[in-house]
Structure 1
Amino acid sequence: MIRQWSMCTTEEIGAMDKEHSLVIIPIGATEQHGSHLPVGTDSIILDNLLNTFMKECDFPDNQVLITPLLPVGKSMEHMDFPGTLSFSTRTFYSMLDDLCESIRCHGFTKVLLMNSHGGNTDLLNVLSRDLRIKHDMEVFVFDWWFTSFWNDILEQVQQSGDYGVFHACELETSLMLVFCPEAVDMSKAVDEFPDIQLTANPHVTLKGPVTPGWKTKDVSHHGVIGAPTLATVEKGEIFIRYAVQKLHAMLTQVIQTNYKS
């Protein structure tokens, strides 16, 4: 069963079998996405994808609870662009720590931090280990930007080259054309890629092995990293179908994994 935490009563949450439960904390962002997408893009995509997932999937033998989505994350790299909201590292860390402490207090022992903004990734990975130790919980981090989550479908669908899918890009714009088309202005979409100095070197690139500590203005004039002009509704629908199936397989494995000693 999949339910939204906020739609359950206190009695329902209290009666749940905590040994067969997974709590998902969706983590988005509010930050600039070029001139063609709204600042809430990361949160809009994650929220809509989870709503679609809830309608199409189920876990009959387990309870999956989805907490309210956190619409602001760690987005300091985008602060040169108007509209970006961000927590500091310390605030964001403390907020998630407090939230997980509340969840643990009610008896749940397995949490998945589901992240849709690359700027949150490093902190979530550090935090997961601290939460494991401090709250005696199993903590998993799912990030779709710096993992292989989208790779299989991108190999089939992506038309842009390397760095074509990064920020306000072919992928995100295609998803938004399906989830929130009224907020997308394709007439303002521009393709932009980081300087070759940070993409073509054998060692120092945005993807490593040596990564610079960059802010968005260092790599993009318009706030875009990728090729949004190649986005289409058709691609967005393909991405969504793929993501729902992939999420079901992924969450099934998370539920089956019990690593805590």
Structure 2
Amino acid sequence: MIRQWSNCTTKEIAAIDKERSLVIVPIGATEQHGAHLPVGTDSIILGSLLGELEQRVTFPSHEVLLTPLIPVGKSNEHLDFPGTLTFSTTTMYNMVDDLCGSIRAHGFGKVLLMNSHGGNTDLLNVLSRDLRIKHDMEVYVFDWWFTSFWSDILAKVQQSGEYGVFHACELETSLMLVFRPDLVDMAKAADEFPSPQLTDNRHVSIKGPIVPGWKTQDVSKHGVIGAPTLASAAKGREFIDYAVVKLHEMITEVIGTNYKASLSDEA
């Protein structure tokens, strides 16, 4: 079963078998996405995909709870562009820490932090280890920007180059054309790519191995990194169908993983 934490009563949450449950904490952002997409794009996409997941899949032997989505993240790299809202590193850290502490206080021992904004990634990876130690719980981080999550479907449908899918791009715009087409203005979509100084070096580039500390204005004049002009609703539907299947597979694997117990069981 998969359902929203907010829709449960206190007695229903108390009655859940905590040994056969997973709590997913969705973490988005509110930040500029160029002239053609709304500032809530990251949160809209994440919330909508989880809605699709809730409708289409099930986990027969486990309870999967979705906490309220956190709609603001660490987005200070976008603050030069109007509309961006951000928490500081410290505030974001403490907020997720407090939330997971509350979840643990009710007996849940496994949490998946599901992130849709690249600016949150490094913080959540560091935080996950601290949460494991502080709250004695299993903490998993899923980030679809700096992992291979979209790779298989992008290999089939992506028309843009290496930096064509990054921010307010072919991928995000396609998803928004399905989830909230009323908020997309394709007449204002414009492709934009980082300077070769940050993409074509042998060692120093946005993707490393030596990564500069950058803000969005260092790599984009108008807030876009990628090729939104190549987006389409047809691609968006393919991305959604792919994501639902992939997320179901991944969450099932998280449910079946119990790394806290692994060494003691071997002993």
TM-score by length of structure 1 reads: 1.00
Aligned-pair CA distance for 1:205: 0.6
* Corresponding letter in the other structure for 2:32: Q
SS in 2 for 1:70: coil
CA deviations over 1:152-182 (Å, ceiling 9, x no partner): 0000000000100000000000000000000
- For 1:95, the equivalent position in structure 2 comes to 95
1:255 and 2:258 correspond? no
Distance (Å, rounded) in 2 between the aligned partners of 1:210 and 1:260:
33
- For 2:189, the equivalent position in structure 1 comes to 189
- For 1:129, the equivalent position in structure 2 comes to 129
CA deviations over 1:167-208 (Å, ceiling 9, x no partner): 000000000000000000000000000000000111001001
Q: How do 1:134-145 residues align onto structure 2 when only pairs under 5 Å count?
A: 134-145=134-145
- Equivalent pairs counted in the alignment come to 261
Distance (Å, rounded) in 2 between the aligned partners of 1:206 and 1:251:
29
* Corresponding letter in the other structure for 1:200: D
- For 2:172, the equivalent position in structure 1 comes to 172
CA deviations over 1:2-21 (Å, ceiling 9, x no partner): 01000000000000000000
- For 2:26, the equivalent position in structure 1 comes to 26
Aligned-pair CA distance for 1:232: 0.2
Q: What are structure 2's unaligned runs of at least 5 residues?
A: 262-267
* Corresponding letter in the other structure for 1:57: V
- For 1:149, the equivalent position in structure 2 comes to 149
Distance (Å, rounded) in 2 between the aligned partners of 1:95 and 1:56:
31
Distance (Å, rounded) in 2 between the aligned partners of 1:225 and 1:59:
37
Aligned-pair CA distance for 1:135: 0.0
* Corresponding letter in the other structure for 2:78: H
SS in 1 for 2:252: helix
SS in 2 for 1:113: strand
SS in 1 for 2:39: coil
- For 1:162, the equivalent position in structure 2 comes to 162
- For 1:52, the equivalent position in structure 2 comes to 52
Distance (Å, rounded) in 2 between the aligned partners of 1:209 and 1:159:
26
- For 1:229, the equivalent position in structure 2 comes to 229
Moved over 2 A (4+): none
- For 1:64, the equivalent position in structure 2 comes to 64
Distance (Å, rounded) in 2 between the aligned partners of 1:24 and 1:229:
33
Distance (Å, rounded) in 2 between the aligned partners of 1:183 and 1:8:
31
Percent identity reads 75
CA deviations over 1:200-230 (Å, ceiling 9, x no partner): 1110010010000000000000000000000
TM-score by length of structure 2 reads: 0.97
Aligned-pair CA distance for 1:134: 0.1
Distance (Å, rounded) in 2 between the aligned partners of 1:80 and 1:109:
39
